[in-house]
Structure 1
Amino acid sequence: MSFIEMYQLPILRWLHIVAMVYWLGGEWGVFQTSFNVINRKLSMDERRRHMETAYRIDILARTGIIMLLPLGLHMGHFWGVQPLGGNWLVGMWIVFAMWLGLCWSAYYYRDTEKGIRLTKFDESIRFVVIPALLITSLWSLFGDGPLMAETGQKWFSIKMFFYGCTLMIGLKLRFIMREWSELFIVLAKGENAEVEATLDRSIRFGRKLAYLYWVLILTVAFFGAVKPL
């Protein structure tokens, strides 16, 4: 038995933990940076630097979010709660590698029209993934869905459901961050009280969402680690 075959599950579990850490820690970093983004006492250049910092932190959180799903599905196959393996897992990793490449490309070109188009494409993928996760998890829990959801196996479907919920909130937060960039383009032309007020409302709403976001992230981590049902 090769090293990979022997330690495949522990390695996947380790990567899953790392992805979760980057996700939770990254969102906390963006949250803290947002206080300086709307601080009118700072110069526009200083505020822009803080916004750039937020984007640099956020790309790690976005990476963690995307990686959690294929890692979880792969481990789910080992645990017998996700029946698809073999070539399906290979194809899944190829698809998610392409999605991750799209995410990083959008980040790289974030200050250009190309970056905006790539970001919108990245966001559109979530409109497919989120319903798929919610429907699959609920179907498996309350019907005859594809996931194993007998006693002792329900945790996987529950975890998938809450993960889908976090993606919904995360998508809204992505919209908010994109709005920051659009508003800063206007502010770069000069002071604008109306735009400042819009920016302030946008970030304050985003912070409220962030609290719920963290609760759901911790819930996802709880069901993955404890597997109570």
Structure 2
Amino acid sequence: MGFGRRPTTDFGTVVFHWLTVAAVVWLLVTGLRIASDDPTSRWLALLDPVLQMNQLWLSHLLGGSILTCVSAAYISYMNRGAITRRVQLDRNRIFRLLTAQANWPTVNIVLYWLLYIALSVTIVSGWLLLDGLNLTILHLHFYVSLGVILFVPFHLWVQLRIGGVNQLMRVFRPAPLTKPAPALDLAELVADLLQAQKRERSKPTSGFRAPGRHSKDPDDDN
């Protein structure tokens, strides 16, 4: 009895996925420890026994640098590998969302975009804080970082809804990158069809005789 092929993910995506996970976990560990010194966030002091204590700012800065580089490299990888359609919110997907007809893969793409936005805000606000303490930016940085934590259970749940445990295991099964076929351009298709029809009409017709006319047979004169 044969079994269907197990889902895989290309090598590049697997590498970027785990680099991002490692950087985000490190940033959360160091960031929460830094935030626990804030008098308004004393509840975070409960995590002191499990959070890092030494060289916090240097460690946090290193993690932010890694996450920034990984994010930039992944954007370049997606463009070069022509795999941006994986996370593209095209017209059909947006229509399904607006009409409550979205399937789980579409919900998954929306979650990805929420993560991209959250990570972008976290990275930009983090670098802005290096220029000087601004309470508004600090609070934005902190609460959006908590949003990244909330992303994890939703992400796992949606992946399970899409394909069960096999879907989750994709990030442990790297495979070569296969570029998708180019997207169908409807305008080009219509233009090609019109050109074909035009060429068909311009072809000379052979053996055509007008109705009511017949070639003259020499025997008709006899």
Query: What TM bracket, shorter-length normalisation?
Result: 0.3 to 0.5
Tell me the TM-score normalised to structure 2 length: 0.45
Higher-helix-fraction structure? 1
Tell me the TM-score normalised to structure 1 length: 0.44
